[in-house]
Amino acid sequence: MDLLLQALRAAGEQTRLRILALCAQHELSVTDLIQVLGQTQSRVSRHLKILVEAGLLERYQEGQWARYRLAGQGSAIPGQDSNKAGISLARYILQNIDMMSPVFRRDHEILTRRMDARQQRIQQFFRENAPKWEEMRAELVNQSAIDAHIRDVLLAKPVKHLLDVGTGTGKALLELGPSIGAGIGIDNSFAMLDIARNNIEESNLNNCQVRHADMTQMPYEAETFDTALVHMVLHYSETPALVITEIARVLTKGGRVLIIDLVRHDNTEIRTALQHLWPGFDKEEMQDWLTQAGLTVEDTTELNGGKLKVFATLAVKG
């Protein structure tokens, strides 16, 4: 009863309702919310503190930054008990908010512009760095160990149709292409795709191709691919859980997905320089997203040797 009353009191204020609606769309920082709400940092921080304490929002510390999202959207914060009353109330409130009312519509429009601007900065970064992308990546992680793990895991079984999500320069297709039936790499950077397409043509990999596509809305029918690879991509996504759900949709029954990404870190210098939206992920969080998408985790392996730690998770669609 006390938890429910606390959640009701926290939700009963206009700005906090606006924050709930915004954090249901994206995982946001204080700076993001200040830009949308047009309020001071102290005021926004106070509202966030109330919402977190009431169990309506979850807070994640990322080095110097903190990010907030609607409670119950992912794995619970380690060591923190979930307020089930707060989670249920938050969902009920959002189901009954008129998102077309002037205040909420305006907030949504401002947030969309801000997210679009962020994606444009990332695309500009890829355009400028596409030719030297593999070299940059090799400075951070043990790429040879990652490449070997990808080959060992994915080629342990026959691969008829491979989907390489966020293919970049097409390196994975070059490595796996000769040993698979067919492969498609998708990316939303035209600069990266130009390089990937040229690499594939020079290698005479007629069974592989690349396409421009959004990894949250792939232009493929359900159950199209028996194998998927997501290699160092999710930390550039606004909505990694949505990407995983979309991958699960296009996988065949029994299909496998190998996700390789950074272990959560606090190196803000690298994150800022490389335009990472996420500072890596907790392995438990990744497993939770996979489970929610209907995938069963078979193995998680940590790959060390570079400046940043990397983990590889293999999951299967039941």
72 pLDDT higher than 90: no
Higher-pLDDT residue of 50 and 7 is 50
| Dihedral, CA of residue 80, residue 81, residue 82 and residue 85, to nearest 10 | -140
pLDDT of amino acid 126: 63
The pLDDT tens digits of the residues spanning 148-158 come to 999 999 999 99
Distance set, CA 190 to CA 33, 113, 277 (Å): 31, 21, 20
Over the stretch 261-278, which tens digit does the pLDDT of each residue have? 999 888 887 777 776 788
Whether the full predicted model's pTM is greater than 0.85, yes or no, is: no
- Residue 220 amino acid letter: Y
Six-digit token pair at 23?
């954090």
Q: What percent of the chain has pLDDT over 90?
A: 44
Q: How far apart are CA 184 and CA 225, in angstroms?
A: 9
- CA neighbor of 211 nearest in space, from 179, 173, 249: 173
Q: Are residues 103 and 20 in contact, defined by beta-carbon separation less than 8 angstroms?
A: no
| Statement: residue 193 has pLDDT above 80 | yes
4 or 220: whose pLDDT is higher? 220
Tell me the average pLDDT of the chain: 85
Is it the case that residue 121 has pLDDT exceeding 90? Answer: no
Confidence of residue 62 (pLDDT cuts 50, 70, 90): low
Q: How confident is residue 125, by pLDDT bands cut at 50, 70 and 90?
A: low
Per the document, the length of the chain is: 318
- Cα distance between residue 312 and residue 142, in whole Å: 13
Q: Say if residue 303's pLDDT is above 60.
A: yes
89-98, 248-257, 261-270: range with highest mean pLDDT = 248-257
At 242, is the pLDDT very low, low, confident or very high (cuts 50, 70, 90)? very high
